[in-house]
Structure 1
Amino acid sequence: KHSKRDQVDIIWLVATFVVSGLGLYFLNDLVGTLPANFLTFILAGVLIALGVLVPGLSPSNLLLILSFFSPMLSGFKSLDLIGTFLPITIGGILAILAFSKAMDFALTHHHSRVYHFIIGIVLSSTILI
């Protein structure tokens, strides 16, 4: 059963938009440019899996903002099994194991707030591209 929209949902949307927008905008200042390596490709795998688990979330936007998209595509193009495919697969499997039940619970019990949260992230990441 889906919950109806209320003022708290709008607050979730605006707060998520502002916080994620500021976080993504200042990400390079906060952590610097992340190198394309095994660990960061695990993170890329997590983001890709979240795009599968979270309806409407676009991992490609986040990968572009984090500057992972081009190195990841280069790794795919060169068929880099150990440096690209393996860590992305590991990250994807870990994310699916960790978040699938949580996402199911959240969508079942807090449907409207979850979607407003997702819309806030999608809007802010799209604007920043």
Structure 2
Amino acid sequence: MKENNNKGLMNWIIKFLKGMLIGSGAILPGVSGGALAAIFGLYQPLINFLSNIRNNFINNVMFFLPVGLGGLFGLFVLATPIDYGLRFFPVFVLWGFIGAIVGTLPSLYKEAGREGRETRHIVITIVTAVLMFAFLVYANNNLNIDMAQNTVSWLFAGAIFASGMIVPGLSPSNFLIYFNLYQPLTEGIRTLDFSVIIPVSIGAVVVVLLFSKLMRKIMDVAYAGVFHFILGVVIASTAIIAPALSLYEGFGVMDYILVVVIFLAGLLLGRWMGKLEERYK
């Protein structure tokens, strides 16, 4: 009995940590909450739940409760330090996230091949990674649209935010930056501005409920293809958040050593999370 209780507590803690990383990663430019959910083995259960929300409702709520609490913690509590880190220590913060994502890639690769892997699936991963990287480079350099900040734009922002969960690999933060809504949104989250938070939440919920059934149907007929596509997008989005060379200006030897240490710490965290996922799945 004690062993079962310990296992249940560890499971709860693991899901809380996953939710925390998904929540904090969702507001990090270049990172997709859906891709992180896939990496941590939560994407398919989440889509199954949302696509048929009345089925095993209580059990599903209890399963995702620690994930949701961790996500809220990562989104609201960590928003301020992450934003501060990105403004003043972007190289260290970004390499920490890159390390964590790279550390989980073996688990995602294993999950992608759970229902079989053929040569065409590897081709899907490579082609997706190349095309997505090219698109992100183009978008970062060419897309810059001014959108008025009002209820409609926040509903739109919520829809974009939720799209990053429904379509793994789609980084909502990047698209919010293209529409010049990213900084105002993170500011609204930090200051608990409900004129921002409420319409964003409504837009997100509507998109999740509308498109989760579609994603479930796609996964039912092309599971391996979908996950190898996700793998390619994760590789591209991880590469795109690598800090620009200009950010290293003024770095000394100790700074580079610290970057390596932070990257390795993130890598070990990612591998640890991946192994725990396989152990407690």
TM-score over 0.5 for the pair: yes
Q: 1:111 aligns with which of 205, 209, 223?
A: 223
Match of 1:26 in 2: 138
> How far did residue 34 of structure 1 move?
5.2
State the structure with bigger RCO (CA 8 A, min sep 6), 1 or 2: 1
Unaligned runs of 5+ in 2: 1-113, 242-281
Which moves more between the two structures, 42-51 or 24-33? 42-51
Matches within 5 A, 1:71-86: 71-82=184-195, 84-86=196-198
Equivalenced residue count is 124
Q: TM-score, normalised by structure 1?
A: 0.74
1:63 aligns to 2:176 (yes or no) = no
Please give the alpha-carbon distance, in whole angstroms, between the structure 1 residues aligned to 2:173 and 2:189: 15
- Give 3-state SS (helix, strand or coil) of 1:26's partner: helix
- The residue type paired with residue 91 of structure 1 is G
In the alignment, the residues of structure 2 paired with residue 71 and residue 92 of structure 1 have an alpha-carbon distance, to the nearest angstrom, of 17
Q: Secondary structure at the match of 2:199?
A: helix
1:5/1:112 contact within 8 Å kept: yes
Cα distance change of structure 1 residues 36 and 125 upon mapping to structure 2, 3 Å threshold: farther
Preserved contact between residue 45 and residue 89 of structure 1 (Cα < 8 Å): yes
State the structure with more CA Rg: 2
Q: Deviation of residue 16 (structure 1)?
A: 1.4
- Secondary structure in structure 2 of the residue aligned to 1:79: coil
- Which secondary structure does the structure 1 equivalent of 2:187 belong to? helix
Correspondence for 1:49: 162
Match of 1:96 in 2: 208
TM-score (norm 2): 0.38
Deviation at 1:89, TM superposition (A): 1.2
- The answer to whether the Cα contact below 8 Å between 1:42 and 1:88 also exists between their aligned partners in 2 is yes
Aligned mates of 1:73, 1:23 — CA distance in 2: 24
Q: Distance in 2 between matches of 1:100 and 1:47?
A: 14
